[in-house]
Each structure stands twice: as structure tokens, then as C-alpha cells.
Amino acid sequence: MSAVPVDRAVPAPGGGPGPGPASAPPSVWPASALPAPGGDITVAGVSLTGLAERYGTPTYVLDEDEVRARARAWRRALPDAEIVYAAKAFLCRAVVDWIEEEGLGLDVCSAGELELAAARGFPPERIVLHGNAKSPDDLRTALRLGVGRIVIDSESEIAGLAARVEGPRPQQVMIRVLPGIDAGGHRRIRTGAEGQKFGLSIAEGDAEDAVSRILGRPELELVGLHCHLGSQITTPGPYARAVRRLVAFLARIRDRYGIALRELDLGGGFAVAYRPGDPAPAPVAYARRIDVELLRACHEFDVPVPRLTLEPGRSIVGPAGVALYRVLSVKRSAGRVFVAVDGGMSDNPRPALYGARYAVRLVGRATQAPTHEATVVGRHCEAGDVLAEAVELPGDVRPGDVLAVPASGAYHVSMASGYNATGRPPVVAVAGEGRSRLLVRRESVEDLLRRDVGL
């Protein structure tokens, strides 16, 4: 049976037919998601209700085949580029294996992510380390493991890194520059504009000063430029503008220093759909525009075409994830309906941080009740602990029901906290037809107590 997007095929919660394929917006569910009897949904042939029963809730479900397919889609879209998975979206040992097997590199931001990759034998030459404030441990670990490139994010980092290089060969580095482009879904995830903590400004001359300093350090080899514009960028236009500004800077470096830098890393930030109808261009849509602009700009400025690197993270793992919660209470107040679940901002801080919006569906119970607008809230002691606002749920939703939140694979578990000592949720992989396995176990009370060593 071929997969039909769940938000096209599952009957509407009120019992009527769902939207037809011709009029339906793009699905926010994994491609393997299918409707099942009794109001259930299966992902990779595995019942979501069954997973909630087996592993408890909250639980995060990750479709391995979806992750792999999305990684391959990026490689097909840019076969001559280096595709590097942004580990900050979500990383565990199994994901490290999947990424390596699909031929992608790995972008990390800490010694912890580096050690996790090393524990699985990930080739260090395919790792990129960046971050606006790398600790001494981050740099020591990167040099000890032999990572391929380290991205310089400030002038103060140059001397400290150079002093730690002990080998006969210089460490390859890139400079993270600010192209002065404001792009992204929320002001807190826009990282390419002037006046914020990331990168070195091209316009103000900081990036060029860093070039000069690096070229004066024989322990370092400058190989290229890096930028990251932001997250949830829904059109390829900002990337095209960044390409033009970075290629112009490459030409300026060539003219002043007589060197042709051979790499250009545009970072990530490619949008995914969190709700039906959200814009989420395919990798090929970004790739075509970037390729055209890169060739045009290099011809205009008469510089060699550099090797391109992209760092998709969310767009690989985000749509592959589904979060499962169990309803604890239903409350009506001031004309609003609040459906409280057993998770919240401790496992998904994105709504509180960025006002992120999600789709929510009741699973595991068929109902003929008409839908009403509800707000799905968490269990934590914060008024801002809201998981989903203004979602349509059956009017008879009740304690014990299971709710599924698609597009939950990125920046949920990776940003999870221990707030209220509830413990971080497990991650379960599904693959093939009906197979599931635990990737990351639930954090227990015993885990929390073991960390508390005070008397």
C-alpha cells in the first residue's frame, strides 16, 4: 500500500471526510504515515497508539527511512557540493550512523557533539566545528580528533586556536562572515544581519581584518568563508543574495592578498512545514537558485568557482519526527478550551522561545464529535508553557487520549531541559514495516538523583 499523507487521508476529527488530494496542502507528516482503523495513525507501519502504550508518553518517534530519504534528496540536489548535517537539530548515536551511511558530513558546535560523533567512528575530516564562543575544551577536542574545518567566529579566537595547534600540518579554518542579510522565521533565529553575536562583519571591515590575522599565522590555513543566515527561510532568494556578497568578498581577498579561497559554506536554515500550508521548498528549489547565482557571480567577479557546502539539519530530521503526548486534563476558562498534556516546554521550548505553531491530531480513538478550537498546554509552572494554540480538536477530547504532533524531529529533544524534574523523553526509531527500537531512553528519577551529589 502506498503512503498517503495523513492530513490528506485521515477522516476529519468530526467524522466527515478529510480534504481530497487535489485540494489538500502539503503534508506535515512523514511520507510513511497512514491512517489506521479506530482513528489511529501508523508511521513506517507502526501504530502511534501502540508506541505510546509501549514506551509511555511523552515519546518522540523518528522515521529512519524519512531521515535517510531527506539526506539523499539534498545530495541529489547538489551532487558536486558537500552536504553537512547540522547536529544541533538532533543527534544521537543512531543518527550519526545514518548520516555517515548516507554520505553526509557533520556540523557540530561543542566537544560533546564531537565526542558523540567520535564514539561512532565518524570520519573527523568530514566534521565542521563552529560556534560563536568555543570553549578551550571544544578546541582541544577538535584538534585532538582532527576535524576537517574549524569556523573562526571572532578575532580573539584566532590566536587561541593557533597556539593549540601542535601537529606538523596547519589546521584548516573558515571565517564566519556577516553578509548583512536579514532572513528567517523569527527575529531570534535570524543570524545573517549586522549587530548580533555571530560572525564578522564584511561591511565594517572585521572580516577582512580576520583574514589578515589568519594569513599571518602559519598554524592556520584559511580555506574559505562561512555564513549562516538564520532558520526557517522559506525562499531561496536570501541565499542567492548571500552568494553574491560572499563572492564579491572573495574577489576582494584575492585582489588584496593574492589568494583564491576554495570553499564557500552557506550554512543551513531551510524551512520545513509545521502546519498544513506552510511553505517548505524542496532541496532542489534552493539548489537551482544557489547554483545559478554562484556561477553568475564568479563569472562577474572573475574568481574560481569555490566548492559549495550546505548545512541542512531541520530539513532532514524535522519532518521525520512525531511527538506523542497523553491528555491529563481539559479545562474551559473565559471561553477558551485548554487541553493539558504530560509534556510541554521541557521537551519542546520552541513555542515559548519563538512563538512556533504546530498541528495536533487525536490518535487511537474514532469520534463523531464536531471539532472546536483548543489550546494545547503543557504541565509546567509557566503561563507560557503552550505547545499549540488555536488547533482543531474533537469536542469530546478527554483525559487519557493520545495526541500526536508531527514535524517534531528537530530542536525538541536536542533543546529539552530538566524543568520541574520531569525527565527528558525517549526517542524511538521506526523503520521498514512495523519495526521500532529505542534510540534514547527516558530520563528517570534515578538519573536525576545520581547527578545531585550534594549532602
Find where cell 526557517 sits: 232
Distance, in Å, from the CA atom of 404 to the CA atom of 321, rounded to the nearest integer, reads: 10
Contact, 178 vs 198, CB < 8 A? yes
Q: Which residues are within 8 A (CB) of 79 and not within 5 positions of it... i.e. 6 or more apart?
A: none
Taking the alpha carbons at both ends of the chain, their separation in whole angstroms is 59
Residues in CB range of 336: below 8 A, 6 or more apart: 374, 375
Taking CA 431 as the corner, what is the angle to CA 62 and CA 20, rounded to the nearest 5 degrees?
A: 75
Instruction: Give the SS3 label for residue 340.
Output: strand
Identify which of 257, 260, 283, 311 has the alpha carbon closest to the alpha carbon of residue 149.
311
Q: Is 306 exposed, middle or buried (0-12, 13-18, 19+ CB in 10 A)?
A: buried
DSSP label at 441? P
Size of the chain, expressed as the number of residues it contains: 455
What backbone phi and psi angles, to 5 degrees, belong to 263? Answer: -130, 145
What is the DSSP pairing of strand 321-333 with strand 59-63? antiparallel
Cβ-defined contacts of 280-285 (< 8 Å, 24+): 280/26, 280/234, 280/315, 281/234, 281/235, 281/236, 282/73, 282/77, 283/73, 283/74, 283/76, 283/77, 283/78, 283/312, 283/315, 284/73, 284/76, 284/77, 285/236
Asked if 381 is an active-site residue, the reply is: yes
| Integer Cα distance of 380 and 228 in angstroms | 33
Chain center to CA of 67: 12
CB atoms within 10 A of CB 110: 18
Strand-pair partners of 360: none
Q: State the catalytic residue, choosing from 92, 109, 298, 381.
A: 381
Q: For residue 107, list its beta bridge partners.
A: 86, 128
Q: Give the span between the Cα atoms of 162 and 157, in whole angstroms.
A: 9
The C-alpha cell that represents 178 in the structure block:
556577516
User: Using CA atoms, how far apart are residues 147 and 139, in angstroms rounded to an integer?
Assistant: 10
Residues recognised as catalytic: 381
